[in-house]
Amino acid sequence: MRPINVVILGGGFGGLAAANELRENLPQDIRITIIDKKDWFMMDLVKLWIINGTREFELSKRPLESITKKGIEFVNEDVMKIDPIGKLIRTKYRQFHYDYLIIALGVELAPEKIPGLKENSLILYDINDVPKIRDTLRQMKSGKIAIVITGLPYKCPPAPFEAALLIRSVLEETGASDSVTIDFYSPTPITLPAGGPQVSEEIFQILKSKKIEFHGNHKTIEVEPNKIKFENGETGFDVLISVPPHKVPAVVIESGFAENGKFVVVDKTCTTKYENVYAIGDVNQIMVTDKIAVPKAGIFAEAEGVTVARNIISQIKNELENAIFDGKGGCFLETGKGTAGYLQVDMFATPDPLTRLQSSSTEHFSEKEKFEQERLKKWL
Ligand SMILES: Cc1cc2nc3c(=O)[nH]c(=O)nc-3n(C[C@H](O)[C@H](O)[C@H](O)COP(=O)(O)OP(=O)(O)OC[C@H]3O[C@@H](n4cnc5c(N)ncnc54)[C@H](O)[C@@H]3O)c2cc1C
């Protein structure tokens, strides 16, 4: 008899969490395969540490090949087509049959959606631009840094604020802080809408205490050399650091999973409209209220990966478990000089999602370091 195949598209946060949960709980004759176009994994949060000079990319990434030690197969190829009727995945050179499929392909960055953005800004979320941001900051003596969020939703809502605070820290170290202004532009009226008004105000005050001016309701329409055009005006800059619009990976749209280019809409079980196909992490959209969706964050991708893995395990073992994603989690808000706050989140609390910001401390920063190290050790 043909072995059961569980295929996971994407060896990022969600894919690695799911693969490990499956492998730990299923017999070795069940095949588990991860397909990823990259051959390495690094948590996105390390990008911030590359910017402040405490980490290097080459020393921080881990080879995905190491999951093969655990009996998880790894295929380093680009996924070109998902066929949910024939239960097939096509890459450039091969095709794979699946019995269970987990789509964990994350998002694609789409700077091209804003004219001039790619040419005139350094992209905070792009690993190729991150070392350029580090070097630019170290050389800067005076001028204006603009940090701009250009599209919603974007990954890890607090991350651009952490970046602003770390940038201020770097400037304090280089002695340029008094002569460099930092302005933060966002299309949202408050800093962190998913966190609610109180947490947003707290973040606003932290930014203010570090002379970072937050400008809400600024929707970017175009960027020119040294000028950003918003729907409601324009501003100049010397260095522009941007969070570009995000889009659903092309293969997910072309394979019919994303209607009208939207992220894959699923409920708390992450099941899609196709049999035995799940979508987890940034590639999906789980609505909490008619206006608020679960934020795109690694901690949620991980929890969704474990939820889906448990349901696949129970189906294969004919057990009755029916796990659902509980929307609870937390993430760190790094504030510079080895300190961080902690945002505790319960997305499905009633009547509204609950978010609390615990104040900044060196302990929270140590927990953030541990957060990365523990997962690397467990997953790879
Ligand atoms: C600067 C920054 C800081 C962050 N900090 C935090 C934090 O502190 N805490 C937190 O919880 N989250 C944080 N996040 C968010 C977090 O990184 C993402 O939400 C998380 O990575 C999502 O996991 P995922 O598995 O859905 O996607 P990803 O981790 O992005 O994985 C997707 C994988 O799919 C692969 N892939 C895509 N398309 C294809 C294809 N066609 N063929 C083959 N492979 C493909 C990619 O190569 C990638 O490996 C941060 C993000 C950023 C940018």
Residue 143 lies in a domain: yes
CATH code (residue 85): 3.50.50.60
Quick one: 130 and 233 in the same domain?
yes
Q: Using CA atoms, how far apart are residues 271 and 280, in angstroms rounded to an integer? A: 9
Structure confidence at residue 280 (pLDDT): 98
Q: Using CA atoms, how far apart are residues 116 and 225, in angstroms rounded to an integer? A: 8
Residue 22 lies in a domain: yes
Alpha carbon 309 to its chain centroid, in Å, reads 20
Structure confidence at residue 2 (pLDDT): 82
Minimum CA distance residue for ligand 1 atom 11:
298
Quick one: 128 and 90 in the same domain?
no
Asked which of 245, 272, 288 is the last residue of a domain, the reply is 245
Residue 326 lies in a domain: no
Structure confidence at residue 260 (pLDDT): 84
Structure confidence at residue 165 (pLDDT): 98
Average pLDDT in the 223-243 region? 98
CA of 175 to the centre of ligand 1 (A): 34
Asked which of 282, 297, 316 is the last residue of a domain, the reply is 316
CA of 319 to the centre of ligand 1 (A): 31
Q: What is the pLDDT of residues 28-42, one digit of tens each?
A: 999 999 999 999 999
Residue 233 lies in a domain: yes
CA of 106 to the centre of ligand 1 (A): 5
Average pLDDT in the 339-353 region? 95
CB of 34 closer than 6 angstroms to any ligand 1 atom: no
Quick one: 133 and 235 in the same domain?
yes
Alpha carbon 358 to its chain centroid, in Å, reads 22
Residue 299 lies in a domain: yes
Question: Which sign, positive or negative, has the C-alpha torsion 304, 305, 311, 314?
Answer: negative
Asked which of 271, 299, 316 is the last residue of a domain, the reply is 316
* Long-range interactions of 344-347: CB distance < 8 A, separation 24+: 345/195, 345/295, 347/288, 347/292, 347/294, 347/295, 347/300
Structure confidence at residue 253 (pLDDT): 95
Q: For a substitution probing ligand 1, which of 20, 21, 35, 36 has the most ligand atoms within 8 Å of its CB?
A: 36
Minimum CA distance residue for ligand 1 atom 5:
45
Assess whether pLDDT exceeds 90 at residue 277: yes
Structure confidence at residue 1 (pLDDT): 75
Residue 76 lies in a domain: yes
Q: Using CA atoms, how far apart are residues 31 and 5, in angstroms rounded to an integer? A: 5
Minimum CA distance residue for ligand 1 atom 38:
105
Alpha carbon 13 to its chain centroid, in Å, reads 8
Quick one: 103 and 252 in the same domain?
yes
Q: Using CA atoms, how far apart are residues 3 and 9, in angstroms rounded to an integer? A: 19
Residue 121 lies in a domain: yes
Quick one: 102 and 190 in the same domain?
no
User: Which residues, other chains included, contact 11 with Cβ-Cβ below 8 Å and sequence gap of 6+?
Assistant: 19, 34, 35, 36, 38, 41, 64, 67, 74
* Residue that is written with structure tokens 């966002």 in the block: 186
CA separation, residue 364 to residues 74, 155, 203 (Å): 34, 21, 16
Count structural domains, the chain: 2
Encoded tokens for 286:
């789980």
Q: What is the pLDDT of residues 84-125, one digit of tens each?
A: 999 999 999 999 999 999 999 999 999 999 999 999 999 999
User: Which residues, other chains included, contact 260 with Cβ-Cβ below 8 Å and sequence gap of 6+?
Assistant: none
In 3D space, the residue among 361, 333, 369 whose CA is nearest the CA of residue 166 turns out to be 333
Q: For a substitution probing ligand 1, which of 13, 102, 299 has the most ligand atoms within 8 Å of its CB?
A: 13
Domain span at 266: 5-107+248-316
Structure confidence at residue 261 (pLDDT): 85
